[in-house]
Copies of this chain bind each other. A is one copy, B any other.
Amino acid sequence: MGSRFGQMFAISTWGESHGGAVGVTIDGCPAGMALTEDDIQPALDRRRPGQSRIATPRDEADRCEILSGTVDGVTLGTSIAILIRNKDQRSAAYADFAHIYRPSHADYTYQAKYGVRARAGGGRASARETAARVAAGAIAQKLLGQDLGVEIIAWVDQVADITGQVDGAKLTREAVEANMVRCPDGAAAEQMVARIEAARDAGDSLGGIVRCVVRGVPAGLGDPVFDKLDADLAKGMLSIPACKGFEVGSGYGGITLTGKDHNDPFVMEGQRVRTSSNRSGGIQGGISNGEDITLSAAFKPTATIRHPQSSVDEDGNTVTLEAKGRHDPCVLPRAVPVVEAMTALVLAEHYLRQRGQQGG
């Protein structure tokens, strides 16, 4: 279980990091939308390994193939299946420590849960599975963009203790893509790159924060009680490998304010109800209020490091692990399109729900 997300815009993913392929089926994308691989590939290219010198050197083209659900480049309303072949898996690199539980990886928990696991590269727990999410998310983004004009832009806001100064309200994707670390504050970006390279050279790794802003969401998306829009976004973010925290709006930073200073006053802008501040992060009572949705996701430092570590093997022996394999010294730059994808998937789900509830 666990590989499904959404009910109305419903995806199912599959695939191990070192199997033949990863993929996703989307059941519920409305009919009549133009869709080809070209709508998906750019998002995959932003996530793919080997894209820069601060990413893992594993080299995957991550070319997607649409296997069903479209005819003549138009969606049929039925299940869209997408396949992404694995090309550059090198399982042999894992042979030396196949029976060792890598610290802060899922090796031990998968073994404990299933009694068996894919020893090469983390199998289903590998971040490689996020390629499937990014493919599905690209379709969700297209749907939201064409129907509602929604724009979803994530960026790297912090790496270790280096923080960018970024105004999400006016941010463009071009500004995010302007450098390899995807921090639109150029000065901070340079520091981040240098720090990541230093960590890589030391066989170490770094964590940080991705922020995301969503513009153009109409008021009314999200459901009461459990399926609050921010609750589903929180689940979406925490489902990303290495994510350890989530905030919406003022988040942890808001708790030292008092209600008087934290509340967002309502004001009229012509006929439209707006708020003059946005500590709510565009969501009130779990439902979008039409302001920008703002969120953040905290990512721990990559668990795979070259530095020797103490661990145990499957037989209970204490061992020293010196990982080889290929990995990202900092997952943040490649996490950006994944954060966008999960955001898009949650919004597409609630958009279709809302159409169902509201009617025409």
Contacts and interface: CB of A to CB of B under 8 A. Distances in A.
Interface in A26-63: 27-28, 30-32
Contacts of A173: none
A97 interface: no
Interface magnitude class on chain A? 35 or more
A207 to B, nearest CB: 4
A141 interface: no
- Taken together, the copies of this chain in the complex come to 4
A260 B204 contact: yes
A151 interface: no
A44 to B, nearest CB: 18
Contact of A226 (B5, B7, B223, B233): B5
A352 B356 contact: yes
18 contacts: A67-B83, A71-B118, A76-B118, A110-B224, A112-B290, A113-B287, A124-B225, A204-B260, A205-B258, A207-B256, A225-B239, A244-B250, A246-B246, A251-B298, A259-B302, A263-B305, A265-B309, A267-B318
Given A4-B4, A106-B284, A260-B309, 20 more contacts: A1-B7, A1-B357, A5-B226, A8-B356, A15-B79, A30-B359, A31-B115, A31-B357, A71-B116, A71-B117, A71-B118, A76-B116, A78-B123, A112-B287, A125-B285, A234-B235, A245-B252, A251-B298, A259-B305, A263-B303
